[in-house]
Amino acid sequence: MSTTKHKKRLSFLEARITSTLSVSLVLFILGIMSMMGILANNLSIYVRENIGFSIILKDTAKENEITGLQNILAEADYVKAAQYISKEEALKEVMIALGENPEEIVGVNPMQASIEVRLKADYANPDSISVIDNLLRKKSCIEDIQFQKDLIQSVNENMRTIGLILLALAMVLMIISYVLISNTIRLTAYSQRFIIYTMKLVGATPGFIRRPFILSNIICGIIAAVIAIIMLTVCISYIVNEFDNFYTLISTSMLLSVYGIVLLLGILLTGVSSFFAVNRYIGMKRDELYYV
């Protein structure tokens, strides 16, 4: 008799281990997907914040007018960074690019002073740029404002497309993950369906019956999440070692966000799946338990 009980315990333990490992693999894939989504968002912000515009200043612009404009830009909500480039600095940049001095050809410095402005990500869109353009053109010291409107529109459209693709993939993957985890937990509940029926016979309420199953599966979900987090960490470490510049895209806050998402999904998916799996057997009669 004790041998039979021992075998049952071993069988149950093996089922738990298999279930936990299966859930951890699913959470690992979800963790990779979450990281891809966060990386795509960070990349989108980085690209948009490196798109800006040039304010070309008039040769007659006075120093106090330029200083006043710089102060306005420094306090503006839409400005990420602003850099003043004098005529001399602009000439040096052209000399480096062309390999010759245009001042020697035309006799004077043909360059104009400018302010290079980088926008914050939220304002890097055609509508905001039109408003900013109208506001700045009222300044008398400004001769022209040069926006890369086509580039900004193209970047926004591409980032929007990438975001929609990732969202669609995440939704499909979430559904598949739920089905896989639900089936895994349903097998565990199936092996204990007669225990559930016995608890019901002695007067246990559905909530009382569900509680230990849900708690035990949530604990398995937490263990599976920890395993998935370890796998993610090993994977990230390998990629960082293989690709030198990849570490610049990874931050501590991003990793903590991904780990938090994996842990939360581990708890939610196992908890919800357990609830419905146990509910199925609570409502069954004894004869029905033999044919499921």
Q: Is the pLDDT of residue 116 over 50?
A: yes
Q: Is the pLDDT of residue 141 over 70?
A: yes
Domain boundary (86, 121, 147) is at 147
174 Cβ contact partners less than 8 Å away, ≥ 6 residues apart? 30
Q: Is the pLDDT of residue 137 over 80?
A: yes
User: Residue 183's pLDDT is what?
Assistant: 76
Mean of pLDDT over the chain: 80
What is the token pair recorded at 49?
């914040």
Segment (H or E) for 68:
helix 63-75
**Following DSSP, what letter does each residue of 196-250 receive, concatenated?**
HHHHHHTT--HHHHHHHHHHHHHHHHHHHHHHHHHHHHHHHHHHHHHSGGGGGG-
pLDDT tens string 223-243: 999 999 999 999 888 888 887
Q: What is the mean predicted confidence (pLDDT) over 66-94?
A: 84
The reply to whether 124 and 187 lie within a common domain is no
Q: Is the pLDDT of residue 273 over 70?
A: yes
The reply to whether 134 and 203 lie within a common domain is no
Any idea which of 227-236, 256-265, 267-276 has the lowest mean pLDDT? 267-276
The reply to whether 18 and 107 lie within a common domain is no
Q: Is the pLDDT of residue 37 over 80?
A: yes
The reply to whether 132 and 184 lie within a common domain is no
Domain boundary (147, 179, 204) is at 147
Burial of 252 (0-12, 13-18, 19+ CB in 10 A): exposed
The reply to whether 113 and 182 lie within a common domain is no
The reply to whether 141 and 208 lie within a common domain is no
The residue with greater pLDDT, 110 or 162, is: 162
The reply to whether 109 and 198 lie within a common domain is no
The reply to whether 60 and 82 lie within a common domain is yes
- Contact (CB, 8 A) for 112 and 143: yes
Share of the chain above pLDDT 70, in %: 89
Q: Is the pLDDT of residue 49 over 50?
A: yes
The reply to whether 161 and 283 lie within a common domain is yes
User: Residue 1's pLDDT is what?
Assistant: 45
Domain boundary (95, 130, 147) is at 147
Radius of gyration from C-alpha coordinates of the chain: 31
Domains identified in the chain, total number: 2
Range of the structural domain that residue 117 is part of: 52-147
Say which CATH number the domain at 91 has: 3.30.70.3040
